[in-house]
Amino acid sequence: MSIAAATIGKILWVLGVVGWYVIRYPFERRARRVRVVSGRRTAADSLGLIAALVGMAVLPGIYVATGFPRQADYPPSGWIVALGAIAFAAALAVFRISHKQLGRNWSITLEIREKHMLVASGPYALVRHPMYTSFLLMALGQALLLPNWFAGPVGLVGFAVLFFLRVDKEERMMLSNFGPEYRTYMERTKRLIPYIY
């Protein structure tokens, strides 16, 4: 039973990551055709992206493929795996809705695009960074789906590095581009978690 829960958790994690890429790919393609007016791709931001990739894909991928580091395994629980599946499914839903809402304004890094519009509707009416909310849900899902004290929580570390290296700069960039419009938008929204943070 518990062996099955571990296997199911790993399979769901793989399916979740594949789903993540299926959602993202069309936006990546489209983004290539929208001109960038100003970019703030810094070394710190690239480091954040690498941290997220390592914590949320490379290390858990190695764990799923090889079992490394086996000494950090703990006995899996069906309930925790089920919670992880719910978190991951919610992550993918929020991820897709935010991409659709952001549309041609989306960038993998900090950039202002031609005819950039401030999006403040849909999930953006509740939080300023719903896409990062979806990363947080995904990292939580990973922590619950993989019964390993290293490969599970390391996604949360990768997320935190990306988020905290980026969020102030992103908001400053939006402020310098949209001025008072973004200022009032900030006053009525939270960053990641509706009504809380």
Chain contacts with ligand SAH (rule: CB under 6 A): 98, 102, 105-107, 110-112, 118-119, 124, 129-132, 170, 174
Residue of 61, 65, 52 lying closest to 138 (CA atoms): 52
Distance CA 150, CA 164 (A): 21
Between 88 and 132, whose beta carbon lies closer to ligand SAH?
132
Q: Which is nearer to ligand SAH, 85 or 138 (CB)?
A: 138
CA distance 9 to 151: 12
Shortest distance in whole angstroms from residue 178 CB to ligand SAH: 8
Cα 160 from Cα 166, distance rounded (Å): 10
CB of 3 to ligand SAH, least distance (A): 37
Q: How far apart are the first and last CA of the chain?
A: 38
Q: How far is the CB of 145 from ligand SAH (least distance, A)?
A: 22
| Closer residue to ligand SAH in complex, CB, 154/174 | 174
Q: In which residue are the tokens 């989306």 written?
A: 106
Judged by beta carbon, residue 98 or residue 148, the one nearer ligand SAH is 98
Q: How far is the CB of 143 from ligand SAH (least distance, A)?
A: 20
The residue among 12 and 139 lying less far from ligand SAH, judged by its C-beta, is: 139
CB of 57 to ligand SAH, least distance (A): 18
The letter for the amino acid at 195 is: Y
> DSSP of 55-85, one letter per residue?
IIIIHHHHHHHH--SGGGB----HHHHHHHH
Strand partners, 38: 112
